[in-house]
Amino acid sequence: MPGAGAAGARAAGAGAPGERAPGARGAAPKQDRSRATRQRLLASAVTCLAELGWTGSTVTVVAEHAGVSRGAAQHHFPTREDLFTAAVEYVAEERSRALRELPTPASPHAAVETLVALYTGPLFRAALHLWVAASNEPQLGPRVTALEARIGRETHRMAVELLGVDERRPGVRETVQGLLDMARGLGLANLLTDDSPRRARVVTQWASLVEAGLGD
């Protein structure tokens, strides 16, 4: 009879009212695994950027680092640009989270140390490589520029809170920005060699300047 095959298929797939469709029970765990795979790929993209730079961070390399197949990586991110555009967002969110979780410093010296540490870790290294890549990749440029502007505003606001200063006072905003510029420079110097001994001396001196210049 015409349509009998379709009717039979519908009958075979139908269940009692309220019955869970076949395979639905495994849908949530499958989605969880998919999200976990995506997160691993993004975290690996950041690590590879920090360790290998833009040129060395291919989709294949990132997939191997994440422990997934290239096919699985391309399922989530069909192109390299897709992967690293998402990584830009991921790095920005992780840096924002790091800012929100900063401990309350016990002294100006601790505050300066905390701020400098933001620019010497793997997230900042990854961000630097993204900056370099964005200068040559049109798809990344606008996104990186916008997110860095946001992170810059958040970092400045957090620095003001950590230092416990009032930006309404003349010169305070410029002093805080100078501190952040100095911290960024220390982060750049740390890319090539372990700059921690010199950095410790600079932090101590800057803490004294900040305390003298921003204190009541």
pLDDT tens readout for residues 150-165: 888 989 998 898 888 8
Does residue 6 fall inside a structural domain? no
Long-range contacts of 178-181, Cβ-Cβ distance < 8 Å, separation of 24 or more = 179/112, 179/115, 179/206, 179/210, 180/115, 180/155, 180/156
The CATH code of the domain that includes 136 is 1.10.357.10
Q: Which residue in 40, 121, 107 sits closest to 76, CA to CA?
A: 40
Residue 67 belongs to a domain: yes
Proportion of the chain above pLDDT 90, given as a percent: 14
Nearest to 111 by CA among 215, 186, 210: 210
Residue range 106-123, pLDDT digits in tens: 888 888 988 888 888 888
Give domain status of residue 26, yes or no.
no
- CA angle at 183 for the pair 182 and 189, rounded to the nearest 5°: 90
Residue 208 belongs to a domain: yes
Distance CA 5, CA 58 (A): 48
Alpha carbons 163 and 79: distance in angstroms, whole number? 43
Is residue 146 situated within a structural domain?
A: yes
Residue 97 belongs to a domain: yes
Amino acid identity at 81:
E
Range of the domain at 56: 34-214
Is-contact 199 120, C-beta < 8 A?
yes
Angle CA 43–48–52, to nearest 5: 165
Question: Which tens digit of pLDDT belongs to each residue from 14-55?
Answer: 444 444 444 445 556 778 888 899 999 999 998 888 788 888
Any idea how long the chain is?
A: 216
**Count of the separate structural domains present in the chain:** 1
5 part of a folded domain: no
- Asked whether residue 15 is assigned to any structural domain, the reply reads no
